[in-house]
């Protein structure tokens, strides 16, 4: 408004420069924030010749909407921890299903399944920093689980390539069912916060060295069994700590309570 009263041309130039800057920064790391600035400018900016009451009313509406959004996000949040757990549960279930089908020589599109697995893994990687901040736990625990999942994905990829040329994966139905059961129970435990589902230890696979003619698939199955057990151990240690993280709504209520307590103490003094 001040620029318009001074010179309408300077007001137009300023708005144009701001929109161009927001478009430029939208191509960088702050893409969402910069884009939001530019869109807000285009939507709410006037010519500068409107009464100041209209500008104040717009500002009040924006402020009220922002405060409502902050309160709603604090009371009913979609936490990074929960999103990370759900993606992990889906990956564990995907790994169990794919391994079972490969071992039984069922027809399956392993490439598509592994693509979904990797897509979730990438999304989980992006959530690790926020999950560490929310939980206060060291990032090493989350990174270890990421590495275990990558190992499962690599083993499944190799299994799919060689399973048709050897009967090794279709042998040992008891071991196969134990691996699938462990992965499925782990998926259920992580999704529904049930640590008891992660307590059952997966027995060691038969060592290929004990076989007369071990094949490549025997080694893959033994390694897959070992990685699945290590992953179960890591999750059994991590899940109880995640369950102890207070929900953000409790933090908002505590902040309001402290503010009211401080205000009452100040009036009493």
* Number of domains within the chain: 2
At a CB cut-off of 8 Å and minimum separation 6, what does 266 contact?
none
CATH number at residue 98: 1.20.58
Q: Which domain holds residue 240?
A: 81-246
64-73, 196-205, 222-231, 233-242: segment of lowest average pLDDT: 64-73
70 and 175, same domain (yes or no): no
Residue 207 lies in a domain: yes
The C-alpha atoms of residue 99 and residue 74 are separated, in whole angstroms, by 40
Q: Say if residues 187 and 95 touch (Cβ distance below 8 Å).
A: no
Phi, psi torsion values for 76, nearest 5 degrees = -130, 70
pLDDT, tens only, 107-133: 788 889 999 999 999 999 999 998 998
Separation in Å, CA 127 to CA 84, 132, 142: 6, 9, 10
Q: Is 128 exposed, middle or buried (0-12, 13-18, 19+ CB in 10 A)?
A: middle
pTM of the model: 0.67
DSSP string, 171-192: S-HHHHHHHHHHHHHHHHHHHH
9 and 59, same domain (yes or no): yes
129 and 151, same domain (yes or no): yes
Q: Which of 75, 92, 126 is the last residue of a domain?
A: 75
pLDDT, tens only, 208-262: 666 666 667 778 888 999 999 999 999 999 999 998 887 665 545 555 566 666 6
Residue 141 lies in a domain: yes
The C-alpha atoms of residue 202 and residue 87 are separated, in whole angstroms, by 23
Q: Say if residues 145 and 231 touch (Cβ distance below 8 Å).
A: yes
């Amino acid at each position: 408004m001040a620029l318009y009263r001074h010179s309408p041309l300077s007001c137009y130039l300023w708005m144009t420069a701001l929109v161009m800057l927001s478009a430029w920064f939208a191509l960088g790391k702050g893409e969402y924030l910069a884009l939001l600035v530019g869109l807000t400018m285009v939507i709410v900016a006037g010519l500068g010749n409107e009464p100041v009451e209209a500008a104040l009313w717009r500002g009040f509406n924006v402020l009220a909407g922002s405060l409502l959004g902050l309160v709603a996000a604090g009371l009913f949040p979609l936490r990074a921890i929960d999103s990370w757990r759900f993606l992990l549960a889906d990956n564990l279930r995907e790994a169990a299903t794919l391994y079972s089908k490969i071992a039984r020589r069922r027809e399956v599109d392993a490439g598509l399944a592994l693509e979904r697995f990797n897509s979730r893994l990438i999304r989980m990687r992006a959530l690790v920093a926020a999950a560490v901040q929310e939980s206060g736990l060291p990032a090493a625990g989350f990174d270890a689980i990421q590495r275990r999942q990558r190992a499962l994905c690599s083993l499944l990829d190799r299994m799919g390539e060689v399973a048709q040329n050897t009967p090794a994966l279709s042998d040992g139905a008891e071991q196969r069912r134990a691996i699938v059961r462990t992965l499925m129970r782990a998926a259920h435990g992580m999704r529904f916060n049930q640590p008891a589902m992660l307590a059952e230890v997966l027995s060691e696979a038969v060592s290929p060295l004990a076989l007369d003619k071990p094949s490549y698939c025997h080694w893959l199955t033994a390694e897959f069994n070992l990685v699945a057990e290590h992953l179960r151990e890591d999750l059994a240690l991590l899940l109880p700590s995640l369950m102890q993280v207070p929900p953000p709504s409790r933090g908002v209520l505590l902040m309001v309570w402290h503010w009211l307590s401080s205000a009452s103490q100040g009036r009493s003094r």
